[in-house]
Amino acid sequence: MWMMDATKRDTQLLIESAKGIGANDTAFLGILCSRTPSQLLSIKQTYFKTYSKSLESHIEGETTGDYRKVRGHIPKMYNGY
């Protein structure tokens, strides 16, 4: 995974870290809170190109409570994907 380009790696880590009961809080919040707006937009675009749906819909389906609040706050700042 570390041989991937940074955007693809972050996209994959976000997907894996948001998975249900075994959610990896550190990776999930680390990526969402430490990336620049342009990096988050690139992650969203990469996700959309790969899965033909929005990253928000994936995260929403895998999270509850406070994580949905974080999901709603950060990725939705960037429109288009």
For the stretch 42-78, pLDDT in tens is 998 998 998 898 887 877 777 777 766 665 555 454 5
pTM for the predicted model, two decimal places = 0.73
Give 22's pLDDT tier (boundaries 50, 70, 90).
Answer: low
**pLDDT for the residue 60:** 75
**pLDDT for the residue 9:** 93
Question: How far is residue 16's CA from residue 36's CA, in Å, rounded to a whole number?
Answer: 20
For the stretch 35-44, pLDDT in tens is 888 898 899 8
Residue 1 lies in a domain: no
Q: Determine contact, residues 54/80, Cβ cutoff 8 Å.
A: no
Two structure tokens written together for 67: 């994580």
Question: How far is residue 9's CA from residue 11's CA, in Å, rounded to a whole number?
Answer: 5
Residue 12 lies in a domain: yes
Residue-range definition of the domain harbouring residue 65: 7-17+25-77
Residues 6+ apart with CB under 8 A from 58: 15, 18, 47, 51
CATH number at residue 37: 1.10.220.10
**pLDDT for the residue 55:** 82
- Split into its structural domains, the chain has a count of 1
